[in-house]
Structure 1
Amino acid sequence: MGLSTHVLDTMHGTPAAGMAVTLYQTDAAGQATPVRSFVLNHDGRNPDGPLYDNASLRPGTYRLSFEVAAYFRQRGVQLPEPPFLDRVHIDFGIADVSQHYHVPLLASPWSYSTYRGS
């Protein structure tokens, strides 16, 4: 299946529909090159399916950037300026492209958690 992501809004107990996300490929110097941007669908997932399939995925380092503050403001949540969490960046590595890498995010305006899912 390649690479996928899923975001859950833990404040409201729902998928984070409408959150903007950008996928980057990163290099050893930390430079990030945008690969694609998308807005999460009703289920909190990329509407086009996996970000990469196994045939397209390459070993290396990547970053997912989630527009957390903009999403919660869109939901009507009053946030301080600046917000505690604005964008959440998750840097991760792909070692074995034959495996599936799922990067979920559980987010509220005040906290987040991630793990390698299945």
Structure 2
Amino acid sequence: MRPHLTMHVLDAATGRPASGVAVVLTDEGGAEIARGETDADGRAGLGPARLAAGTYELAFATGAYFAARGVAAFHPRVRVTFALADEADGSPRHHHVPLLLSPFSYTTYRGS
């Protein structure tokens, strides 16, 4: 079964998946829900089988990722705050958070 929340991190400077990026999922109050690390394809799935609708944050350890590769980076951590919602009928909606990285910038969006 696919996790309720997935992410995909790509290193735009190299054009390759960003493997080994540590990521932490927290709720609106800052309580940790789950943690993990991107796999060889830059992907990770976090959280319980279902997260309640609400506001959450993903914190990606981008500084450590770049430091491990000997690359100076401007953002030591990327925090993505997002609102999770259910489908109109109340069923859970899968949420996907892509993150495109470079040493000095990042972009994210709601994926599918």
Structure 1 residue 98, shift from structure 2 partner? 2.2
Q: Which residue of 2 aligns with 1:8?
A: 10
**TM-score relative to the length of structure 2:** 0.86
1:59-70 matches, within 5 Å, as 59-70=53-64
The one-letter code of the counterpart of 2:65 is Y
What residue ranges of structure 1 are gaps of 5+ in the alignment?
A: none
Select which of 70, 78, 92 maps to 2:82.
Answer: 92
Distance in 2 separating the partners of 1:52 and 1:35: 6
Moved over 6 A (4+): none
Structure 1 residue 69, shift from structure 2 partner? 1.1
1:72-87 matches, within 5 Å, as 72-77=66-71, 79=72, 83-87=73-77
Distance in 1 separating the partners of 2:77 and 2:41: 20
Do the aligned partners of 2:18 and 2:40 also contact (CA within 8 Å) in 1?
yes
| Identical pairs, percent | 47
Distance in 2 separating the partners of 1:64 and 1:14: 21
Q: Cα RMSD over matched residues?
A: 1.5
Match of 2:43, SS?
coil
1:6-85 matches, within 5 Å, as 6-26=8-28, 31-46=29-44, 50-52=45-47, 56-77=50-71, 79=72, 83-85=73-75
Do the aligned partners of 2:18 and 2:38 also contact (CA within 8 Å) in 1?
yes
Q: Which residue of 1 aligns with 2:110?
A: 116
User: How many residues are aligned here?
Assistant: 106
What residue ranges of structure 2 are gaps of 5+ in the alignment?
A: none
**TM-score relative to the length of structure 1:** 0.82
The one-letter code of the counterpart of 1:24 is T
Q: C-alpha deviations, 1:12-65, integer Å up to 9, x for none? A: 111110111111111xxxx3111111111101112xxx3246x52211110000
